[in-house]
A and B are shown apart, each in its own frame.
Chain A
């Protein structure tokens, strides 16, 4: 029996969020039929460039969805759209990102469809019985678990960078299906958006998606400038511990931790970060962990791949300078 996997595409206007390419890559390892779901204010779906991108990473089709009569960003609205898609395209798995908003969509959708949810997965495979099995890090990275989904629909929220996006061999632009237009449910219409102020755009990659994240903690004493320079030379984002955001050294939106942003970068650099369990819960899926801290007993050294006991005000600028020197030497050669 053929299997259809849906990928909920996160996008801002026409711009596709990079997680979509990772989710599509993962989806095609699980099924031949991979459909991208594009929920928007209108029924026209993605433009040609976005369809080309979605096709390049394995979407065989894209389903444009418009939910009328409610704000398109609300959880209930997104779920209305997904349920309508499932009515038209029977699927056994939905993959989506792992932000708080994604997890709420997963929860609501699964309750209303009899599905099962795993959040924050780093792997998804199919077992011999045809069930989807998701693997994840748990208990602040000290344990890992594998969980089978037994519901009618498997819904898995996947951490960024857990799959490397790989294009298909012979890419074809994803064909847009007939738009699914559905009226919002009473639950979606019940919530009114009084005001929405989008966050200002930054030149740096967003914290949740960045491949490299430089995080500052108490040990920075509030000076994030050297961390920002390091992040820029590595093409990464800057994050912070709860202490640093509570001190007002950097905005709350930069907080990495179990109650802040969950990150899963390929490279994590902690500067003056102790590595308390609250913080670790938000970065336990980081691939390579580097730590610089004056305190040799800091818990972060128990799980850092590369630890330096030292003064971050010396090590971090020296590292930035060296990386810059190497880059310039390469550019000059």
Chain B
């Protein structure tokens, strides 16, 4: 089985995150880290292959950790390798900078397609969101780019290697569903069911020295006009730090706070 896990290197959400003057998020700081929701995707990908040990004579499983991002994003790949991924692929090209979610999905799609052409990919796993943009657009966009079925926001994934199908359980805003589709598919996972393993020390050491395959846009056959700022169909016009909420009230309860709050709510039209 061959699984590709898409990961992103993002600014730590506990750090002071900022936009640059050109409207792009400041990246590459020391606090940048593997998007924690992608750790769940890695865990899900690793569990998929572990559930089905290769039969004798079969090729060993391959769990590819794939990222698109600047040079520093290699840290996210090393984290994936330390957790147990067997291959790391980094799409690194100055032309990618400024890609919006859909342009990023085009780059990821081209990378998955290139890997698939070399040796078939069965499942692509993504996290439910990047903690920087929080759009949750990429998994569905990637499925559309690849023209593979999408099974998103899964909290259980079962692959049937003989039937070449995958079944997922998911909770939508209105229902709990079990869906199935033929391989290859794009799956995204929630943060509920795949608590990521902590890498072993030996894994961390090995990951430092493991090779990382670097691909640029030319290697993927991507026209630079279709990615980056010029290939994006959204354009950030303005970003600004939000001012503090005006007229904030902070009181310590002396037994009368509930009454004062009731007055406040009445004044706002809620009571």
- A53: Cβ under 8 A from any B Cβ: no
A-B contact count (CB 8 A): 251
On whether the beta carbons of A315 and B258 are closer than 8 Å, the reply is yes
Name the residue in B23, B140, B141, B149 with the highest tally of chain A Cβ atoms < 10 Å from its Cβ.
B140
Q: Known contacts A198-B175, A323-B262; is A107 also within 8 Å of B137 by CB?
A: yes
Q: Known contacts A142-B241, A258-B134, A319-B261; is A100 also within 8 Å of B173 by CB?
A: yes
- A28: Cβ under 8 A from any B Cβ: no
On whether the beta carbons of A119 and B136 are closer than 8 Å, the reply is yes
A289 contact set on B, CB distance < 8 A: 245
On whether the beta carbons of A117 and B252 are closer than 8 Å, the reply is no
- A333: Cβ under 8 A from any B Cβ: no
On whether the beta carbons of A142 and B242 are closer than 8 Å, the reply is yes
B174's partner among A12, A145, A322 (CB-CB below 8 A) is A12
On whether the beta carbons of A190 and B182 are closer than 8 Å, the reply is yes
Q: Known contacts A107-B102, A191-B181, A322-B262; is A309 also within 8 Å of B251 by CB?
A: yes
- B47: Cβ under 8 A from any A Cβ: no
On whether the beta carbons of B178 and A194 are closer than 8 Å, the reply is yes
- B22: Cβ under 8 A from any A Cβ: no
Chain B 122-150 interface 0/1 with A at a Cβ cutoff of 8 Å (1 = within): 00000011011111111111011101011
Residues of B near any A CB (own CB < 8 A):
13-14, 17-19, 23, 37, 100-102, 105, 128-129, 131-141, 143-145, 147, 149-153, 167, 171-182, 190-192, 232-242, 244-245, 247-253, 255, 257-259, 261-262, 264-266, 268, 270-271
What 15 new A-B contacts, CB under 8 Å, besides A191-B150, A288-B270? A74-B179, A101-B173, A104-B139, A111-B105, A143-B239, A145-B23, A145-B240, A146-B239, A147-B237, A190-B181, A196-B176, A259-B128, A309-B250, A318-B258, A321-B258
In the assembled complex, 29 residue pairs joining A and B whose CB atoms fall closer than 8 Å, in A order, are A76-B150, A99-B173, A100-B152, A103-B140, A104-B136, A107-B140, A107-B144, A111-B102, A116-B232, A119-B137, A138-B133, A145-B240, A150-B232, A150-B234, A190-B182, A192-B180, A192-B181, A193-B179, A196-B177, A196-B178, A197-B177, A199-B174, A252-B192, A258-B131, A290-B261, A306-B261, A309-B250, A315-B257, A319-B261
